[in-house]
Chain A
Amino acid sequence: MKSPQRLYKNGLVARSDSRELLSSDVLVDGDGRIAAVGPHLKADPNTEVIDCTGCVLVPGMFDLHVHAREPGGEHKETLATCAAAALHGGVTGLVLMPDTTPPIDTGHLVKSVQDLADDITGITMLPAGCLTKGRAGTELASFSGMVSRGVPLLTDADRTVPCPAVMRRCLEYARDFDVLVATHGDTPALSRGGAMNEGRTSYSLGLPGNPAISQEIAIDRDLRLAALTGARLHLQQISTAAGARAVSRAKEDGLAISAEVSAHHLVLDETDIGDYQSHAKTDPPLRLAADKKALLARLLDGTIDLIASDHSPHTEFEKSSDFASAPAGFSGLETTVLVLFDQFIKSGRFGWDLLIQKYADAPRALIGLPKVPISVGARAEFFIFDPAARTAVEKSWFRSRSPVNPFIGRDFAGAVRETVVG
C-alpha cells in the first residue's frame, strides 16, 4: 500500500555546488523517492501539500562522530533517543563510536549493534569498531571480523593508542583492509588531570590544565605514522590552530589525511566556561579565540574536511558535580546545524553549500556512502529549515535523553522544522 505523494511547496533548495538557493517545489512519491524538483509543480488531490514558504530544504546531514551510549550507557542515551536527537538536528545518518560497554571490538559485537540499529527506522546508524582490544591500546582488535561486517571506520574513540609502536602496527594492518582509521589526538601523560585548556583561564579558575601540545604532539605523531605506513587516517576534533596547520602541511605532502572539527570549537572558546559551567567541559577542551578563528579559516580553505559533533551525552547529575570531576562532553547533535546557521550562515560568512559539503557530502564520501542531494531519482533525505523562526534552546527542547549542552539558555536564529527521510 503506497503512501500518498508529498509536495513540499515553495521552498528554497540548497545544494553543495552553488551558494545560491534554488526556488523550487519538491515532489516526493509514495516510495519516498524524489519524483520532481522544479517551480510550480502540480499536486493531484491525493498529494499532501507541505508549505515551505521561506524555508530552506537541505540534504540530510551525516555525523561521523556520535556517542550513542548503547549498549551499556542507556541511562545517558539509547540508539532510539540518539536517533530522535539526530533527526531533530537535521542529521539523517551517523557513525556510532565503539566506546560502549562492552566496547565494540569484534565482528559479533558489530553485528549486535547493527541489529539494534536496524530496528530504528528513518535514520542510518553505522557502528564503528575499535582499533585495539577493549580500547586498551595494547593489542589489535579483530579487524577482519569487523571489516567483513562493513564497519565504516576503526577508532578507539576518545582515547589515543599511547604506544607509537602499537599505533604503527594498527595502521600497517589497517592499510591492507583499506579501512579508515580515526584517531582522537591526545598525549595522556601531558593531559592527565587537565580539566580545561591550559592557559590564563585555567590559571584564574584554579583548574588543572590540559595543554594544547598534548593534542598537537599526538597529531604530529600520527601524521608521521600515516606517512610511514600509507594508511588512511582521519583526525578527530581538531581544536587548535597549530593542529590544523599540521594537517595542512600533511595534505601538501600528499598524505591520505582527513580532519574534522566540531561546531563548538568553531563558536566557543575557553572563556565560555565562565563560572565553572561544566556543560562547556569538552575533550578536547575549548581553546583560545585565535584557535576558533584559525579553525574556521581552515574549514573554509579545505584543510578541515568535515564537521562532526562528537555528541557525548552525560546525565545532568554527572555534569552537576564540580568542574574538575565532571565528565567531558555534551549532547551536540541537535544544536550543530542551528549554531552554525546562527553564527555563520545567517551572517553570510559561509553558505548552505559549505555546510552541505562539510556536514553531509564529505563525511559520506569518506566512508564510501553516496551523497543525498535533493534531486530527481534520489531518495528523499532532507530537512526543512526555517531561517525566520527562532529556537530557544531549553532543556525541555532536547530529544536526547541527556539535555546537557553549553547553549542551553540561548536563543538562536532559525529552526529545524522537520526532517524527511523517505
Chain B
Amino acid sequence: MKDLLPRKDLLDIEGLTLPEIEHVLANAVPFKQLFQRSVKKVPTLRGKTVLNLFYEPSTRTSTSFEVAANRLSADVTNFTISSSSVVKGESLLDTIETLQAMRSDYVVIRHQAAGVPGIVARHTGASVINAGDGYHAHPTQALLDAMTFREVYPDFAGRKLLIVGDVLHSRVARSTSTLFHKLGIEVAVLGPGSLIPAGRHDFMQRLHTWDEAFDWKPDAVYLLRVQLERQEGQFFPSIGEYHKMYGMNTDRLVRLRQLGAYLMHPGPVNRGVEITDEAMRYEKSLISTQVENGIAVRMAVLHWLQPDTSKD
C-alpha cells in the first residue's frame, strides 16, 4: 500500500483518510482471529513499551489497551492520575517531560480536557493514541464500532445508525458518527432537546420520538451512556423520566426485534437508565462483540502507528 503514509498518532477520526480507515479495519480481522488460538500473543511489538496514561478513571478502556498491547508482546505500564492530585497545566507539562525521559514507544492517553492528546503528541516522539479527551474524540471506539457494524452488515454503505442519548457530552457520538458518515452510513440522533446540540454535524439528523425513529428503520440502535458524572447542571428532570422517554425498554425492544435491527452500546451500561436487563440479553445485541473487537482494533492501531524515534 504505497499510497498510505505512516502516521505517528491517532488523535481523532476527522483527520483519517478512507484508505487509512480501511487499512486498520482490515488488519483488525487477522488480529481477531488470533483470539481463537491458545497462544493469543504474537511477538510483533516485543521490546516496545506502551504507557497507559489515564487522567480519568476507566477500567474497561485501559484494560482493553493493556490486553491489546500484551497480545502484541509489548511491555505495558499503567499510570492512572486522579484529578484531585492534578494541578492543571503544571502537571501536564511535567508529565510531558517525564514522558520524554521515559522514551515510551506508545502512549495511550485519556484526559478530561479536549485537545490534551494533541499537546502531548506534539511534544513527544512516542505514538500517541487518544483514548478519550473530554467531549472531543474517542477514535478507537469509533473504529471498533465500525468493525462491529460491518461484520453484521458487509453491505454497510447506505445502512442506518440511530444514536440515542446525550449527544452533547459524548465523544463517542462525535467520533462514531463522523466515522460512520465517512463510510457512507446514515446517522440519526434521538434524545432530550437539552442534550442534542444545534451545532452538531449537519449529517446527524434529529428524530424526536421512538415512533419516528423506528419509522426511519435503523439497522442498528446505538445507546449512549447517560453521563451522570460529567454533567454540570440539570439537563433532564430525572433518571426515571429519561428512562421513560428514551430508555430501551420492553416495548421498544419488541419493535427493535421486529425490525431485525442490532443493539450497540459503548459501555459501561447504566441498567435501568438507557437500557434494561432484558435488552442486555437481546439476541442481536452486539455489546460483547464490541468489547472483543475493541481489543482487535487496538492491536491493529498499535501495529499501524509508527513512533518518531528521532525525537525526544
Contacts and interface: CB of A to CB of B under 8 A. Distances in A.
Interface in A244-299: 275-276
B31 interface: no
A275 B193 CA distance: 29
Interface stretch (B109-117, B143-151, B155-163): B109-117
Interface stretch (A15-23, A204-212, A232-240, A379-387): A204-212
- Overall SS of chain B's interface: loop
B119 interface: yes
Given A206-B171, A207-B136, A324-B114, A318 B199 contact: no
Nearest to B134: A206
Contact of B114 (A193, A199, A322): A322
Residue in A205, A275, A317, A326 with the greatest tally of chain B CB atoms within 10 Å: A205
A189 B224 CA distance: 27
Contact of B89 (A193, A204, A318): A318
B232 A324 contact: no
A198 B199 contact: yes
Given A318-B89, A325-B89, A203 B137 contact: no
Contacts of A206: 114, 133-137, 171, 174
Contacts of B115: 205, 207, 275-276, 322-324
A320 interface: yes
Nearest to A207: B114
A192 B233 CA distance: 11
B135 A204 contact: no
B42 interface: no
Contacts of A192: 232
B14 interface: yes
B88 interface: yes
A372 B114 CA distance: 48
A202 interface: yes
Contacts of B119: 276, 322
A89 to B, nearest CB: 28
Interface residues of B, number: 25
B197 A325 contact: no
Nearest to B132: A206
A320 B136 CA distance: 19
Interface string B100-129: 000000000001011110110000000000
Of B14, B115, B232, most A-chain CB atoms within 10 Å? B115
B18 interface: no
Most chain B CB within a 10 A radius of its CB, from A201, A203, A207, A317: A203
Interface of A is mostly: loop
B208 interface: no
B142 to A, nearest CB: 13
Contacts of B198: 199
A323 B114 CA distance: 7
Given A275-B118, A323-B115, A325-B113, A203 B88 contact: no
Given A205-B136, A206-B174, A323 B199 contact: no
A205 B89 contact: no
A224 interface: no
A40 to B, nearest CB: 57
Interface in B70-124: 88-89, 92-93, 111, 113-116, 118-119
Contacts of A321: 88-89, 92
Given A206-B174, A276-B118, A324 B113 contact: yes
B55 to A, nearest CB: 10
B13 to A, nearest CB: 11
Contacts of A204: 14, 174, 201
A322 B88 contact: yes
A346 interface: no
Contacts of B111: 322
Contacts of B14: 204
Contacts of B135: 206-208
Contacts of B116: 322
Q: Find the residue from B92, B113, B118, B135 having the highest chain A CB count within 10 A.
A: B113
A390 interface: no
Given A203-B199, A322-B114, 15 more contacts: A203-B174, A203-B200, A205-B115, A206-B114, A206-B133, A206-B135, A207-B136, A208-B135, A317-B93, A320-B89, A320-B93, A321-B89, A321-B92, A322-B115, A324-B115
14 contacts: A192-B232, A200-B199, A201-B199, A203-B197, A205-B114, A206-B114, A206-B133, A206-B134, A206-B174, A207-B114, A207-B136, A322-B116, A323-B115, A325-B113
